[in-house]
Amino acid sequence: MADTYDLIVLGSGPGGYVAAIRASQLGMKVAIVEREKLGGICLNWGCIPTKALLRTSEINHYLTHASTYGLSAEKTGFDLAKIVDRSRKVAGQLNMGVKGLMKKNKIAVVEGDGKITGKGTLSVVKDGKTTELAAKHIIIATGARARDLPFAKADGERIWTYRHAMVPKEMPTKLLVIGSGAIGVEFASFYSDMGAEVTIVEMLDRILPVEDEEVSAFMLKALTKQGMKIHVGAGVEKLEASGKGVKASIKGKDGKVSADDFSHAIVAIGIAPNSEAIGLEALGVKTERGHIVVDGYARTNVEGIYAIGDVTGPPWLAHKASHEGVVCVEAIAGNKPHPFETWNIPGCTYSRPQVASIGLTEAKAKEEGRKVKVGKFPFIGNGKAIALGEAEGFIKTVFDETTGELLGAHMVGAEVTELIQGYAIARQLETTEEDLMHTVFPHPTLSEMMHESVLDAYGRALHY
């Protein structure tokens, strides 16, 4: 006999475990299935441990530039094993936190590989033992994995995915990063600040290609100034690993191919959804390039089957998965939530400098035929940024000229990943430029630049 629930969640990442908690709060009997660790990739191998590593490299940067602040730091160094250990302990602490949340909310945790075997049924296999589960509603939250180069699979020794890059056995001396999305740029930033010589290769014509063009251009200059070599409009034609390092053939923008040697390479060229071998084909669940197709309530084309997070469409972000899970569960409970949309999801890159954005870029807004007003304010015009020694960056806002609607905001600089939420709230509340202009921002703060950027869009900037 199958164990029966109101809802089964397959996968316990930030989408899955949040959906399970909300369902429990709404009175449902819930089971969550996980084959590895509670918290999924984000908590155990992504968002959280990478931020622990980046905090270390940030402090190392300050130590090596102590004289800038009138301080002296002699004989600085690091212990790689302890750096990795701290990162793993941070992930472990949060993993235990999720376990506690499951217990608190009376959610049954079933360990093993889950597969949907029919409408409303799911089997879980662990160590040769099968557990049968049944529920009217099943949410698929199986996430995604790093995509390999077709001609050079990661070996964990010389060619790494993000998982390998988080637990290095040795510090790279000369590192090749293939791909310049958020993951690639974050690891490039970490290893560069820890002393590695870093080269980034990006197939498209600019780094961080989903960001506003001005942000991409600024980051190219900033990272180059830090000592990184960056090739855009370029590709890696060949990658050969040996016991001593990695030999790469890089085809440049001009079509010429050059060979270079590296100690290690990180492949950060995107993700592949974990949609195989979970029973989708037999049920006829619709997918596009492996990603499950859903509507605004996370419903698939098969009744009773839902999907959230990275196994569905972009953007592939933890906070998108969590919110998607809540909307899905609220709809299952009959609470008639607003359908989930991607228009108001902030994106963050935790490099040095940081990058954050929300909404339309200037180019995208113009493509849609909108007349826009654009404001910009530099960090160098902000007292708090200067006092922090972080006067590198800018904030850019894009408004609809006719309605005053905030169409998008784009930031690069210190702590912008914290600042961006202010604009997310403004967009959620459909705030106009007038509302933002009349809002009082505290002084001295970095957030004042948000105000000044809005003012600048209307020719009213006060401090620059």
Q: What is the mean pLDDT of residues 102-108?
A: 98
CB-based contact 35:114 (threshold 8 Å): yes
Read off the pLDDT of residues 21-80 as tens digits, 9 standing for 90 and up.
999 999 999 999 999 999 999 899 999 999 999 999 999 999 999 999 999 998 899 999
User: In which region does residue 413 sit, left (phi positive, over 0), alpha (psi from -120 to 50) or beta (all else)?
Assistant: left
In 141-202, DSSP assigns E strands to 144-146, 159-160, 174-178, 197-202
State residue 392 phi and psi, 5-degree precision: -105, 120
Position 85, amino acid: D
State residue 253 phi and psi, 5-degree precision: -60, -30
Question: At which residue do the structure tokens 């995208």 appear?
Answer: 364
Q: What is the mean pLDDT of residues 147-157?
A: 93
Determine whether 410 is an active site residue. Answer: no
Alpha carbons 91 and 46: distance in angstroms, whole number: 9
Please enumerate in sequence order all residues whose Cβ is within 8 A of that of 409, keeping only pairs 6 or more positions apart, or say none: 357, 358, 359, 395, 396, 397, 398, 420, 423, 450, 453
Could you tell me the two tokens for 190? 């970490």
Per-residue pLDDT band at 457 (split at 50, 70, 90): very high
Alpha carbons 225 and 333: distance in angstroms, whole number: 53
Give the 3-state secondary structure of residue 40.
helix
Query: Does the structure show a pLDDT above 80 at 448?
Result: yes
Query: Does the structure show a pLDDT above 90 at 343?
Result: no
Torsion angle defined by CA atoms of residues 188, 189, 190 and 195, in that order, rounded to the nearest 10 degrees: 90
Query: Does the structure show a pLDDT above 90 at 2?
Result: no
Q: Residue 349: its pLDDT value, please?
A: 98
CB-based contact 164:141 (threshold 8 Å): no
Q: Residue 221: its pLDDT value, please?
A: 98
Read off the pLDDT of residues 167-215 as tens digits, 9 standing for 90 and up.
999 999 999 999 999 999 999 999 999 999 999 999 999 999 999 999 9
Q: Residue 153: its pLDDT value, please?
A: 93
Other CB atoms within a 10 A radius of the CB of residue 250 amount to 20
For residue 304, the 8-state DSSP code is T
Q: Residue 394: its pLDDT value, please?
A: 98
| Options 137, 410, 438, 443, the catalytic residue | 443
Alpha helices in 105-181 (DSSP H): 162-166
Q: What is the mean pLDDT of residues 277-300?
A: 97
Torsion angle defined by CA atoms of residues 15, 13, 356 and 224, in that order, rounded to the nearest 10 degrees: -150
Q: What are the b/e assignments for 411-447, b being 16+ CB within 10 Å?
A: bbbbbbbebbebbbebbeeebbbeebeeeeeeeebbb
Alpha carbons 154 and 464: distance in angstroms, whole number: 48
For residue 147, the 8-state DSSP code is P
Alpha carbons 148 and 90: distance in angstroms, whole number: 27
Read off the pLDDT of residues 391-438 as tens digits, 9 standing for 90 and up.
999 999 999 999 999 999 999 999 999 999 999 999 999 999 999 999
Alpha carbons 384 and 245: distance in angstroms, whole number: 44
Q: Chain-wide mean pLDDT for the chain?
A: 97
Q: What percent of the chain has pLDDT over 90?
A: 98
Q: Residue 346: its pLDDT value, please?
A: 97
Query: Does the structure show a pLDDT above 80 at 1?
Result: no
Give the 3-state secondary structure of residue 4.
strand
The β-bridge partners of 208 are none
